[in-house]
Every structure is written in C-alpha cells, then in structure tokens.
Amino acid sequence: MAFKEGFLWGGATAANQCEGAWNVDGRGPALTDVTTGGSVNSPRYVTFVDKDGKPGKIPAHGGVLPEGAKYAVLEDELYPNHDGIDFYHHYKEDIALFAEMGFKTFRMSISWSRLYPNGDELEPNPKGIEFYRNVFTELKKYNIEPLVTIWHFDTPLYLEEHYGGWKNRELISFYERFVKTCFTEFKGLVKYWLTFNEINNTVMFLDLFGGKASDEAYQNAYQHLHHQFVASARAVKIGHEIDSENQIGCMICGITFYPLTSDPKDILANRHTWEQNIFYCGDVQCKGEYGSYAKRLWKEHNVNLEITEQDVKDLKEGTVDIYTFSYYMSTIVTTHKVDEKVGGNFSAGAKNPYLTYSDWGWALDPDGLTYYLEMIYDRYHKPLMVVENGLGAFDKVEEDGSIHDPYRIEYFREHIKAMDTAIENGVDLIGFTPWGCIDLVSAGTGEMRKRYGFIYVDKHDDGTGTMKRSKKDSFEWYKKVIASNGKDI
C-alpha cells in the first residue's frame, strides 16, 4: 500500500447532524432546525407559519417560502436535527472512541449560529466559543488533528429570513466576521480548515429539475455561489494572516460523471456536466478565476453576475491550499431518453448496468474514486483529501448487542484500494475521513436508520432511543486499517 507516513486517517461529521442541543447555551436556529424528518420516499420539509399565523410546509430542497411567512418550529412535527446524536453532551465519550480506533484526524464543523446566533451580531457568544475550545482540546489530548468545516449547510436562520441568504452580498461580511473569530479563538488548536461544505451543490442541484429549472433559479444559484467564492477567498487570506500554519481547503461534492453512449452529443454533454457541476467551483477556488466555459454556462441561462473589481482581486489572492471532496458515487449523463433515473447526493442520472446500488440507490463505484482523484490532481496539483465517503445502510443490533456490518467493511476495503491505486499513479492524497464515522442524522432524508458509522448510536427515526454508543464490527476493522497505515484491509 502506498499511503504515506503520517497519512491522516479519521472520520467526518457535521454540527447540524450530530451536535443536537439546538437551542442550548445561546445557540440560534439554522434552517435544519425547521426541517422535518423524512425518508427515502417522503422528502424533508421546511415548516413555517404564514402571515395569518397558519402553519404550513414547503419541500426542504427547492421550496419557496410564501410571501410574509416566517420559518417556525411546529408542535406536531419531528425535527431530528434538534437532538442529533447529542454530540454536544457526549463529545468526550465519542472522542475517546475515535482515539481507540486510532484516528489521526477528526472532521467536524462549527455551527455558525452557536457562535453568532443571528449571524449579524458584532460579538460572538462566549458559550459557543467555550464548547468548541473544549472539543478541540479534548481532540488534542489524544493527538487527533481537528479538520474543521466552517460552513456545513447551516447559515443562521435569521440571515436566511432577513437577508435572503447567500444571494445577498452582505452575507460575505457576516461570514468574514465569523471566520475571523474562528481563526483567532482557535489558533494553535486547529490548523486544517474547509471554507464551505459541498459548495457545488447549489448549482448541481438545479440539474435535478431535468433541465427545467428557471433562468431565475440559475441567476440566484450562480450569484449565491459567487458570494460564497468571495467569502471563501477572503477566509483563506484572513486565515493565512492570522496563522501562517493554517492549511485551508475547498470542499466539493465529488461525483464522477460518465457518458451513457459514444454519441458525441453524450460525450459533450458529459464534459459540460463536469464543467458545471465539478470544475466550476474547483477552478475558482484553486486557480482564483472562473474557467473559460463559465461564460457559456451563464449565457445558457441568461445569468448576469455582479462581480466587482475587488472580488476579482480577492479570488486571485485567496486560492486554497488543499482540495478536499466527498465521494460516494458515479452517475451517468446522456442526451438520450432513459426509462429510469437513479440518484443521490444532489444528482440523478441513468442507471449503470455495470454497478450495484446501495439501499438508497447510490451507485457503488470505487473505480470512480480513482478516476476522480487522478483527474483532479492532474488539474490542480494540490494535496487532496477524501473528506467524506461511506455506505448508508440498515444495521441490525443482535440480541447480544453486536452489530455485524460486513457490507460496510467491503465498501471501505474497495475504496481504500481505489485510493491506493491513485496514490501509486502519482496522486498526492493526504487524508481520508469516512462520513458519519459515528451514526448521525442523514442530511438528505433526515433518517437515523440510514447509518454510516463504525459506532452505532441508539437513536431512531421516531425520536426515541437512549443515545447509547456501541461498536460495530467495522470499528475493529478500521482500527486495524489505521494501525497498519492501510496495509491490513
């Protein structure tokens, strides 16, 4: 195996999906706190009260709040993110388990609204700072390097409601204040940072409308992204000024796209999908400017972006140090009519007869990971990290409390081999943090039963459960993998 000495093996989580304590110690709400539970057949909803005080809900992805309505937590709804897996009160126990597995790094995110409850305050909430300082200190106790996502889908709800979210340029300065606080307060405790989780989802998601998203939706998505690019670039500059040790990365939702046929129209459509969904963000964040194809993308949807001279300068000066991404699946692009579309993680495409699929319909494709790693490394020549990868599956607790998950071990074994191949072929891969190393709330469906962890958490879709942690078979297996630096798989 080709994994370098010091390879960062670990696991990944996000605040809104695991911390719970949604209204504790001064934390303000985020959109996920007004998002209901769901399942693969029943999407998540965002709840509100309309201008006459009548409750209602809109789809969590793509829903538009009616005029005059206000987001609201409703009495008879279940909000799984409110409790998550209560990492807020279990972090010591959880970190001890990560340490037992031999984690070198732990990816987590900082809840913006725990530090700035509304997002536009001038001073941070001291209780929020204290919590994260405690978590980082605990990690350091075991020599686990924190890898911190600054924004993981959780803009404070107040900023969504009162400023219209990221399509408003003002969000850049609020984010700037937030990151300055993070870099200053946690200096010496954290050196690996990611500015925005799966930043490309905003535009990739529009594809799910089968080419029918409106020009206005594209305009908003591209402007939203532009603001996040500038915010990210400024964060990189600020982070480097505050501590030259800081390594700051982008985080892209990595999906490998293949054409369905050899029809040149499919080959071209596939290339354009890579440009829109993957390269668009990576190019700006790694090269400091929009790719040449961006003009075509904007023109296709009559997009007119507001880009200032200062933005251009910031993007150039704020390129990231590392490229990180999630990888769960590949998908198929075609201009031909297909009977069945399969999808997951903000994408959908034709079914691939050469692959098998998870219980949630996500294509299992380790070769696609090698492909992605080699393609991206060649494009940017920056160190790479796979900061999410994993199998969402049903796990069964046996009578004696054991949990046998050979399917998860098999999944990781194949993906580790795929990473090894890419390293052999010259890719500078420096870390691997499997998603949901401890079971947590699914971002897409809000389920608990879609489990990713090496550690099982007794928490269920109906909100019941003791929150007790227990080890699955994959726990001991991953421990061996880390101890042997990827040799013993």
The one-letter amino acid code at 421 reads T
* 258 makes contact with ligand BGP (CB under 6 A): no
* 10 makes contact with ligand BGP (CB under 6 A): no
Residue 74 phi/psi, 5° resolution?
-100, 145
Segment interacting with ligand BGP (CB under 6 A) among 40-48, 425-433, 436-444, 481-489: 436-444
The one-letter amino acid code at 234 reads R
* 19 makes contact with ligand BGP (CB under 6 A): no
Question: Counting every residue, how long is the chain?
Answer: 489
Whether 416 contacts 484, CB under 8 Å: no
CB atoms within 10 A of CB 82: 17
- Minimum Å distance from CB 436 to ligand BGP? 7
Distance CA 369, CA 473 (A): 24
* 345 makes contact with ligand BGP (CB under 6 A): yes
Question: Is the dihedral angle over the CA atoms 165, 167, 171, 172 positive or is it negative?
Answer: positive
Residues 29-68: x where in contact with ligand BGP by CB under 6 A, - otherwise, as a string: ----------------------------------------
* Cβ nearer to ligand BGP, comparing 254 with 366: 254
In 3D space, the residue among 167, 259, 182 whose CA is nearest the CA of residue 219 turns out to be 167
Interaxial angle between packed helices 170-185 and 126-141, expressed in degrees from 0 to 180 and rounded to the nearest 10: 50
DSSP character string of 289-341 = S--TTHHHHHHHTT------HHHHHHHHHT--SEEEEEEEEEEEE-SS--S-E
* 197 makes contact with ligand BGP (CB under 6 A): yes
* 442 makes contact with ligand BGP (CB under 6 A): yes
| Known catalytic residue at 424 | no
Per the residue annotation, which of 19, 138, 185, 388 is the catalytic one?
388
* 444 makes contact with ligand BGP (CB under 6 A): yes
- Minimum Å distance from CB 257 to ligand BGP? 16
* Cβ nearer to ligand BGP, comparing 35 with 326: 326
Distance CA 409, CA 404 (A): 10
| Known catalytic residue at 388 | yes
Residues 277-316: x where in contact with ligand BGP by CB under 6 A, - otherwise, as a string: ----------------------------------------
* 388 makes contact with ligand BGP (CB under 6 A): yes
* 146 makes contact with ligand BGP (CB under 6 A): no
Which residue's Cβ has the minimum distance to ligand BGP? 444
Distance CA 105, CA 303 (A): 41
Per the residue annotation, which of 160, 161, 185, 198 is the catalytic one?
198
CA-atom Rg of the chain in angstroms: 21
User: Which parts of this chain interact with ligand BGP (CB under 6 A)?
Assistant: 14, 17, 197-198, 253, 326, 345, 388, 392, 435, 442-445, 450
Q: Enumerate the active-site residues.
A: 198, 388
